[in-house]
Amino acid sequence: MTGEYSESGNRPALVVGLTGGIASGKTAVSDRFAALGAAVIDTDQLAREVVAPGTEGLAAVRERFGAAVIDARGELDRRALRERIFSDQAARRDLEAITHPRIRARVTQRLAEAEAPYAIVVVPLLVEAGWAESYDRILVVDAEPSKQRERLMARDHVDRAQADRALASQTQRERRLALADDVIVNDGTPDELDARVQTLHRQYLGMAGRAG
């Protein structure tokens, strides 16, 4: 795939979009790539930055959704906003129209600033947002639903029913895997995950060298 970021000037020679289902281990994988020297850009973090107090993004959210989604400290009340968009697809699209262009602009900026042979851009909702064509390769972190449920219950201190609802709200696993150029199956020990990441790291260094 040809990345849209190739026209933005200075950027790593290879840009990989990393995605996966909830509690599949995306952070565990991206942290390992960062430790090996890859530039890692987390769009969840950027999503918080673009609606931080004082930003035009937060002003646009307030204009569209009202003061009820702003808390007493002048910060975005994420729970109130989630309730507004949960069952309102038009509202969700309006929110995405505010946040997505700003997130993508920050990704472009961070890629231009990156000093690494390749970059990993972590996009949990890559499939849902339709961003697959933005990256040179797509890496999916995959795990069996039973493993995701177990991790989610431990991580978020929720019961099985709540975990299952969260899993059901995600894009179908098969749809993610169909878009993947590379897959890391995160179902083993930390040492096994280390080895799988290191194998891909060497592959990406080779690709970046040829592209550069």
Site of tokens 């931080």: 52
| Spatial separation of the C-alpha atoms in residues 8 and 112, rounded to whole Å | 7
**Do the domain assignments include residue 60?**
yes
Structural domain ending residue among the three candidates 115, 141, 169 = 115
Q: State the average pLDDT over residues 158-177.
A: 81
In this predicted structure, the answer to whether residue 170 has a pLDDT above a threshold of 80 is no
User: Which residues carry a binding-site annotation?
Assistant: 23-28
How far CA 14 is from CA of 117, 139, 190, in Å, comes to 7, 12, 26
171 or 127: which carries more pLDDT confidence? 127
List the CATH number of the domain containing 1: 3.40.50.300
In this predicted structure, the answer to whether residue 109 has a pLDDT above a threshold of 80 is yes
How far CA 16 is from CA of 20, 66, 162, 195, in Å, comes to 13, 37, 32, 19
**Do the domain assignments include residue 195?**
yes
In this predicted structure, the answer to whether residue 115 has a pLDDT above a threshold of 50 is yes
User: Which residues carry a binding-site annotation for ATP?
Assistant: 23-28
Structural domain ending residue among the three candidates 100, 115, 130 = 115
Residue 212 has a pLDDT of 60
The DSSP bridge pattern shows strands 118-122 and 137-142 to be unpaired
Structural domain of residue 196, as residue ranges?
1-38+116-205
In this predicted structure, the answer to whether residue 128 has a pLDDT above a threshold of 80 is yes
| Inter-residue contact 15 to 119 (CB < 8 Å) | yes
Q: What is the pLDDT of residues 49-62, one digit of tens each?
A: 999 999 999 999 99
> What pLDDT band is residue 1 in, cutting at 50, 70 and 90?
very low
In this predicted structure, the answer to whether residue 201 has a pLDDT above a threshold of 70 is yes
> What pLDDT band is residue 3 in, cutting at 50, 70 and 90?
very low
